[in-house]
Structures are given as C-alpha cells and as structure tokens.
Amino acid sequence: MYATDFAYHAPASLREVVALLQQGDPNGGEVKVLAGGQSLIPLLKLRMAAPAALVDLRNVAELRGISEEGDGVVIGAATTYFQTIDSPVVQRRCPLLVQAISQVGDPQVRARGTVGGSLAHADPAGDLPAVAVALDAELRAVGPNGQRTIAAKDFFVDLLTTSLDPAEVLTAVKFAATDRPHTGTSYQKHRHPASGYAVVGVAAVVMLNDDGTVQAARIGVTGAGAHAARASGVEQAIAGKTLDDATLTSAVASVTDGMELMSDTYASSEYRAHLARVLTKRALLDAAARAR
C-alpha cells in the first residue's frame, strides 16, 4: 500500500491553487486536487491513481465555511461533512444535507471528507451528488478564466467525471434552502454493506399545495446510473397529484429512464432499477409526511 512518488503542494490561497493547477506538471503528468482524501488516498495507495502532483486544499481558509445567501446556503468546498451537519444553519435550512451526510461512510470519513471533494470526485454511488441534484445546487468554480457557476444537473457528466476543467477548482456550493411552508425532504438509501456507498440513494424535495397535492418535487438519484441524475419524469408524473399508492407506483416506474444502469456482484442493473423505484417511493412519502 505504497503510492507512487508525487509532488505535494499545500498552498494557503485559492490563487495559488489555481496557479498550480494551471501550471500543471512539467512532464505532462496529472495534477490532482486533494480535498479530504477519502477517495483519492485509497486510490493512490492501490496505485489506481498515480498523479505527478497533489494540490492539497487543507490550508486554504477561504474554501471553508457556511453562510446564508438569499434562498440558499453556501458551503465552502473544503468544509468537512462534520462541519456541515454540525452547522445550525444547515440543520435549519437544509435538513436533507444532514440526513444524507449522516449516512456517508463512517465517522472517520465524515471527519475528513469534504463537501466539495465528494462532488468533484463524482463517485457514481456517492450520497452528496443526489442531494446536490435534489437541492438544485449551484456549483461555483474558479479557473484560469475566472469564476463560473454550474448547475448540479449539468455538473455530473459521467462515471467519476464532472464538467470541471482540469485547471478549475470547486470553491463553494449553494444549496437551495427548504425551510419553507409545506416543504419536506428525505434521503433514502440502500447502503452497500461493505463500502457504505449508496447502491441506490434517492434524495427528494416535495412541496405540497394546501390540499395536500404535490405542487412540485425535485428528485436526485445516485448509485443507479453512471452519475447522479434528476428523475424529471417522476417529478412531472406526480405534479398536481395526491401521493397515493397507485400514483406513486405508476410515477416511479420511469425513475431510471435514460440512466445507464450499473451492475455488479452485489446488485444487478435489474435490482438497482427496482431499488430506485422502491426508494423513490419511500423518499417521496417520507418527504411529503415531513411537508405536512
């Protein structure tokens, strides 16, 4: 479990981070951002990743912290999971983050892993990508060409692939707050018994009308396909409806439409699709119950 040799940088400012990424490796090797290391370090030890240099974000204070911004909560990319769920602002305004992050890995992972690290790594079975999608997150990145904002639905492109450029670094994520009347959220997860990752995870935000029908919903699904995705078909199918069993059953049938379903020894694509349906149903019902 010894990594190949690499250069290690731990700059104190975002400007230096971007400069290091832009500068790259003189021999054309890969330069990777280290943001907690809960995925990257194991890959290094297994030599499944062999970057020429690491740029560690641990000393970059401006990448940490939580603030309220209008209708959302902004979390610095290098904020750890624990700092996030420990925040009264997050607890009040984005309880979905608390519910989901509490199920990430184990206490050690939550102590070191970061919000930005998880999203930028884009593990197809990560918990946070589903939440980012459901909370309509805006992902803020800085690169050689300055700052830009990417919507969560456009951020996750493929297996372990985001729309970030190699020289761009994720700086913060704005999650939509859900502390509004008649709004409830839920994260339902089938946890892989070994890795703790989501075999399938479904994050749901449900807004109800006064009569109990669904005004709108946002659903993020992780684990089923190559990347986290929004289940727009289900969202549309329940809009304006009461969440009775027949409505739900028929609505969730399409939850994995358009997804390239993953398959492994633990769960076939067929079972993943089934879990996505069951968990979407459960997430919607739980979110709706919390909305009342």
Answer for the pair 94, 73: CB distance below 8 angstroms, yes or no: yes
Binding residues vs other proteins (CB under 8 A): 1-2, 4-5, 46-47, 190, 193-195, 249, 253, 264-268, 271, 274-275, 277-278
Nearer to other proteins, 13 or 268 (CB): 268
Nearer to other proteins, 42 or 240 (CB): 42
Nearer to other proteins, 147 or 263 (CB): 263
Tell me the closest approach of the beta carbon of residue 275 to other proteins, in angstroms: 7
Tell me the closest approach of the beta carbon of residue 249 to other proteins, in angstroms: 5
Nearer to other proteins, 76 or 117 (CB): 117
Tell me the closest approach of the beta carbon of residue 93 to other proteins, in angstroms: 29
Distance separating alpha carbons of residues 232 and 142, to the nearest angstrom: 29
Strand duo 53-56 + 31-34: pairing: parallel
In DSSP terms, 161 is beta-bridged to 158
Tell me the closest approach of the beta carbon of residue 91 to other proteins, in angstroms: 23
Q: What tokens does 90 get? A: 């997050």
Nearer to other proteins, 204 or 275 (CB): 275
Tell me the closest approach of the beta carbon of residue 281 to other proteins, in angstroms: 9
Distance separating alpha carbons of residues 205 and 216, to the nearest angstrom: 8
Tell me the closest approach of the beta carbon of residue 18 to other proteins, in angstroms: 31
Nearer to other proteins, 86 or 264 (CB): 264
